[in-house]
Structure 1
Amino acid sequence: MIREINLTIAVIAKECLPGKVKTRLCPPLTAEQAASIARASLSQTLQTVRGVPSAERLLVLDGRPQARDSVGFRVVPQADGGLDQRLAAICDDAVGPLLIIGMDTPQLTRFHLQGLLEDWSTGAPVHDAWLGLAADGGFWALAMREPRGDLIRGVPMSTASTGTVQLARLTAAGLSVGLLPCLQDVDTFPDAVEVAAQAAGTSFAAAVGFVADNVLAGGRS
């Protein structure tokens, strides 16, 4: 059983304010409902990360944290700039192996990270980096044993080829890259329903179910 490894896990997230997060869920959701889905996604992700063996956990946040989100995490503000620059800044500040995870894959479990954890808990790891591709073409996780911001800076984000370009950037630098399972991001309401089914029994699934009942009933919460 893997207990603790020399790894910093950074969750990059945005404060879940109506009209500021998950706007692609609207319609059919209201801004308040979309924010509730975002809060549930972030909360579920943080809960999972708390159970992953690591030396340090960071919540890299755009906005102000809720007290419950801060438990077990050191909260640091995001850098300025586009997403590539903000991710690169996390790498530039890191000392030692780093795993960056987004807040949009609440179906994440420790199982999805097992390949990385087993590899980097050995004295002779096979891979220098790990990448978790997303079904929409992006990526939900990026890890480097020796973090380098220059390997992310300039990668076009939020495109259908973001993950492919990021993988090519890592391999072109001579890194051996392991691939984590591909996961579906929560971008639209159908995405949220699909991911909730994959995460049955979780608080995220309950939040989506509550909102879905209101949508189907034509109500608003």
Structure 2
Amino acid sequence: MTTIVVIAKECLPGRVKTRLHPPLSLVQAAELAAASLDDTLGALAALPATRRILAFDGDIPPLAAAGYEVLPQVEGTLDLRLAAVFDACTGPTVLVGMDTPQLTSSLLEPLFTDWTDDVDAWFGFANDGGFWTLALNEPTGDLIRGVPMSQSDTGTIQLQRLTDAGLRVSLLPTLTDVDTIDDAQRVAAIAPDGGFARTLAAMMEPSTQDGPR
């Protein structure tokens, strides 16, 4: 009985992945963010979750989230929004972000096949110092509230919060969070067959609209 939660924003120009502009336009950055979210949801589809929640900041959820319960994000800083998600859940709960489209179902499979009694939480660092996943056997927002987000030491502080609470934490592989165009190209090379990689490749192709020179 495990819940998967994906926390995401509606992928509108100027609201998501603005650090990809330039070289991408804000419209392209939003399209790439949408591809990242779709790939993430696709990877999670193979996992035997008993409940699926999209913690969503926006009005129109992506089509790939069909079958998900849409839970509007609360107001406030990211730590408060994440905390509210865990407060809304019971039983083993796996939170995943939308910014690591190289995610595969096999990375999270141990949480469904090998979550033993000696593990209270699972944690996956992102390369920028944050984290891409946090899973709690007994979810409570108190383990997240007050953790400073979007810092180079966010992941370290969050992990320390878990261990200070006496939780036994198992670490998952570090993934690349797509913040910059270099991150995007790195992730596309890791997962070249995904929609994210295809979308980026199309955007980076030299324009032929002006015809031959």
Q: Which residue of 2 aligns with 1:184?
A: 176
Structure-2 change in CA distance of 1:154 and 1:106 (3 Å):
same
Q: Could you say if the C-alpha distance between residues 67 and 142 of structure 1 is closer, same or farther in structure 2, counting changes exceeding 3 Å?
A: closer
User: 1:56 and 1:11 mapped to 2: Cα distance?
Assistant: 11
| 1: CA distance, partners of 2:168 / 2:23 | 43
Please, what TM-score do these two structures have when normalized by structure 2? 0.94
What letter is aligned with 2:25? T
Structure 2 portions without partners, runs of 5+: none
Matching of residue 59 in structure 1 with residue 54 in structure 2: yes
**Percent identity of the aligned residues?**
53
Candidates 2, 5, 25, aligned match of 1:7: 2
The Cα offsets for residues 95-138 of structure 1, whole Å up to 9 and x where unpaired, read as 11111000000100012113322322xxx432100001001100
Alignment RMSD (CA, Å): 1.4
Q: How does 1:196-215 map to 2 (within 5 A)?
A: 196-213=188-205
Contact map agreement 1:115 1:180 (CA 8 A) in 2? no
Deviation at 1:8, TM superposition (A): 0.4
Query: Secondary structure of 1:13's partner?
Result: strand
The answer to whether residue 145 in structure 2 is matched with residue 150 in structure 1 is no
Letter in 1 for 2:150: S
| Number of residue equivalences | 209
- Does residue 1:131 correspond to 2:123, yes or no? yes
Q: What is the rounded CA distance, in whole Å, between the counterparts of 1:217 and 1:164 in structure 2?
A: 43
TM-score, normalised with respect to structure 1: 0.91
Match of 1:46 among 4, 24, 41: 41
Which ranges of structure 1 fall in alignment gaps of 5 or more residues?
A: 1-5
Write out the 4+ residue segments of structure 1 that deviate beyond 6 Å after TM superposition: none
1:29-108 alignment runs, 5 A limit: 29-66=24-61, 68-108=63-103
